[in-house]
Amino acid sequence: MNDSDFAAQPGVDEKLIRDLATLRFLDDASNVLFVGPPGVGKTMLSVALGRAAVEAGHRVYFTTAAELSARCHKAALEGRWKSCMNFFAGPKLLIIDELGYLPLPEDGASALCQVINQRYLKSSTILTTNVGIADWSGAFGDATVAAAMLDRLLHRAAVAGTRRKPSAPG
């Protein structure tokens, strides 16, 4: 991440990203939320942090919110819920990409909440989303589940808002 071109994306807080690149957030079991519209580099930043964590010797797992939801749903149907939760609790860093891009099935937000709860204060999670934090209850259809997820995610978290590069006056 030392060779990142922060001038190409002025909506990113360079100081915060450089601090995250030290991976200290893993030692504290802190979380990272990248919030912003599609196409501003949220996934790229999360993958770069994940790669740095792997290179530092940590276990990392990358998934999308939709894949996580589908995997949990299948595990529940097959009687493997506990092993599925243990799987997602295992990595030092879990990266959940694209939260809010696709609607989650009815039990999807609940499964995601349970994964977040399993990891709470034990391991770090990076989450990318195009849904503003204030809009989570509407996006997930359940204000209680959204509040519980946010409570655990934000308790120890860095929130990085990303936005589009301003277009040149035309």
For residue 5, give every residue at least 6 positions away whose Cβ sits within 8 Å of its Cβ, in sequence order, or none. none
Per-residue pLDDT at 6 exceeds 70: no
C-alpha dihedral, 61 to 65 to 69 to 71, nearest 10°: -30
pTM of the model: 0.91
For residue 54, give every residue at least 6 positions away whose Cβ sits within 8 Å of its Cβ, in sequence order, or none. 60
CA distances 66 to 2, 18, 108, 116, 159, Å, are: 31, 29, 8, 15, 22
* Structure confidence at residue 128 (pLDDT): 97
**Averaged pLDDT, 58-84:** 96
36-69 pLDDT, tens per residue? 999 889 999 999 999 999 999 999 999 999 999 9
Which SS3 state, helix, strand or coil, does residue 13 take?
A: coil
Per-residue pLDDT at 168 exceeds 70: no
* Nearest Cα to Cα of residue 97 among 42, 144, 168: 42
Q: Compute the distance between CA of residue 160 and CA of residue 74 in angstroms, rounded to an integer.
A: 32
Q: How far is CA 85 from the centre of its chain?
A: 17
**What backbone phi and psi angles, to 5 degrees, belong to 157?**
-155, 155
**Averaged pLDDT, 22-48:** 95
* Structure confidence at residue 103 (pLDDT): 83
Per-residue pLDDT at 166 exceeds 80: no
What's the DSSP call for residue 37? Answer: -
* Structure confidence at residue 137 (pLDDT): 84
Per-residue pLDDT at 29 exceeds 60: yes
* Nearest Cα to Cα of residue 123 among 76, 164, 160, 156: 156
94-146 pLDDT, tens per residue? 999 999 888 888 788 899 999 999 999 999 999 999 999 999 888 787 889 99
Per-residue pLDDT at 170 exceeds 80: no
